[in-house]
Structure 1
């Protein structure tokens, strides 16, 4: 067996701060640059102290990556270095280790990047060992037990400032058919016992899906020409206690008028503006925030990693008692194995056209579930 590993990568070539990524690879302005190199497993100097070499199996596709492709210093993470693999979290297998934390053969979740093989550094604060006995397939570490599930968890149980069984409440969730939203809807509908959960999604199939996630869930199709009328009908005479928003833009501007006085907005994301900042130009939002004295809470899930063990324990309880249903954790998995690796940037942009239901995952390596 050869000790030489052939590596395929997409390097971050230019920052893409306020515009869509540039996929015209024939121009110097392209956001990404394809690259190939080799790693020699027999090279004693391949790994620095503390490093591990990881074979990428699955990559997570997340709207937050748009910020990671940016030069913005206002991000919760420092700008990614140009000339390095475009940043992405993923699941992989340790092929070689110079770390006391991991051994060859371990499965890990880490910041791997758009590369078939990743050198993961000694500072492994965001690298986690995986217990494969907890899942039926590896991709579930990005869906069922992924960061999106953790995000939904802390949004509901911490940042909403509500308690389960706080009944007779009305919740609104945007991006409800996605990886975060579909978990949120389940938790809110089943554990918080609300009067109703309004779940905004795009298209009839996704509306049907979100309405299957729990009792008292009313799906609303934002792509419909009658969206505002449908929204008003679903809400009726009620007002919204907490709005869990992932979209911002027109969705947030419109919905803000329907919150209760002293209601709350938990701002999870702002996907509508990631490729076009003008989408965050509001007409009525500031007025509604002022007149209704709304409270707005933004957060980043990595702030809660200190409580990870406790969160995982509670999540396992939620699966056991039926609040969360693994069969409702849909995955949209796209193929970037072998020669298809060159499609990774184009596949990722599907996030912004709504191609996925549930967690959007890119498969990089063959031979794994």
Structure 2
């Protein structure tokens, strides 16, 4: 029997194009001692994948080597095993790549409950959830009564950050790129304010929504929203820099705000990426699963079908055309 996998064969110059990938067909592997084979059912498409394609060897995780399977998170079922910790029938999640089957020794692979829908797992318990949880609780350290601003607030990470912050008693200001997304943040997720950064008077709207200033800032985008939010920060404010999706496909990144306010307002700014904290996935996953089961977190998924749709699907993230967590159903 054979299966398909997608390999990265060239680096993207700016935008992600179909010619940088190659779909290949392989024989389904046989596991050696300590290994097992996973049949994947769903893949997660995430903004971080754009960075993994770049040649930057000084980033937080090595780039995908040309000719190798494109890195991606996924979930699936163990169909053949010579590893006692992962018997046949186990449901697992991990960085198994853009592939229909994966051979692994279990490193970086986690067992997951069979009863939860795949969309719930990839939207809440996988990378978006652990990123949201770590950034909010470990980096921003929120306190009830504070005001938090979140960019890409309708995205898979931002929407979870906002809900968790709201549940803690914070005033939540979400920033998104369409009226539909802003409506969803307010009507469905209960954000206090949802602002469209494309509005000509965005800075004025932000000032009106934050009469007491902004204490915490969860940054996912860079771009047009960054400077107005930065200028509204209160003294001793904290900024978690999780992503800069507006900058990833630009040859020269936009200029950021002046560092002067970092001094004047004694701001704390911390970048973070989850590979540094993968050892905490079981801990974070348990907490997030509890929140999900209690109905404390809502999500929406944008599902596309078939392995072949994954490369073009990635561009939905950078065009802002996805409506929820972007998932490929195999």
TM-score in terms of structure 2 length: 0.92
- Residues 316, 347 of structure 1: alpha-carbon distance in 2 compared, 3 angstrom cutoff: closer
Q: Give the number of aligned pairs.
A: 330
1:261-300 equivalences in 2 (<5 Å): 261-282=235-256, 284-300=257-273
Q: Does the CA contact (< 8 Å) of 1:186 and 1:213 recur in 2?
A: no
**Counterparts of 1:286-365 in structure 2 under 5 Å?**
286-319=259-292, 322=295, 324-325=296-297, 328-336=298-306, 341-364=307-330
Is 1:92 the counterpart of 2:76? The answer is: yes
Quick one: structure 1 residues 308 and 85, their matched pair in 2 at CA, closer, same or farther if it must change by over 3 Å?
Answer: closer
Alignment partner, residue 109 of structure 1: 93
Q: Residues 206-234 of structure 1: CA distance to partner in whole angstroms, max 9, x if unpaired?
A: 10111135556200012223322322222
Structure 1 residues without counterparts, runs of 5 or longer: 26-30, 41-45, 365-369
Change (3 A) 1:37 1:83: same
How big is the shift at 1:36? 1.7
- Asked whether the equivalents of residues 94 and 108 of structure 1 are also in contact (C-alpha less than 8 Å), the reply is yes
The higher radius of gyration belongs to 1
* Corresponding residue for residue 134 of structure 2: 154
Please give the per-residue CA displacement for 1:253-297, whole angstroms capped at 9, x wherever unaligned. Answer: 332111012211111111111111523422x33233233221101
Please state whether the residue corresponding to 2:174 is helix, strand or coil.
Answer: strand
CA contact (8 A) 2:126 2:285 kept: no
**Shift of residue 320 of structure 1?**
5.3
1:316–1:8 CA distance, 2 compared to 1 (3 A): closer
1:37 alignment partner in structure 2: 26
Q: How does 1:1-369 map to 2 (within 5 A)?
A: 4=1, 6-16=2-12, 19-23=14-18, 25=19, 31-39=20-28, 46-120=30-104, 122=105, 124-133=106-115, 135=116, 137-162=117-142, 166-191=143-168, 193-194=169-170, 196-212=171-187, 215=190, 217-235=192-210, 237-282=211-256, 284-319=257-292, 322=295, 324-325=296-297, 328-336=298-306, 341-364=307-330
Deviations 1:339-369 (A, max 9, x none): xx333211121111112222110111xxxxx
Instruction: Point out which structure has higher relative CO (alpha carbons under 8 A, 6+ apart).
Output: 2
Q: Distance in 2 between matches of 1:187 and 1:128?
A: 24
In the TM superposition, what is the alpha-carbon distance from 1:317 to its structure 2 partner? 4.1
Compute the RMSD of aligned alpha carbons: 2.0
TM-score (norm 1): 0.83
Give the whole-Å Cα distance in 2 for the aligned partners of 1:80 and 1:304: 20
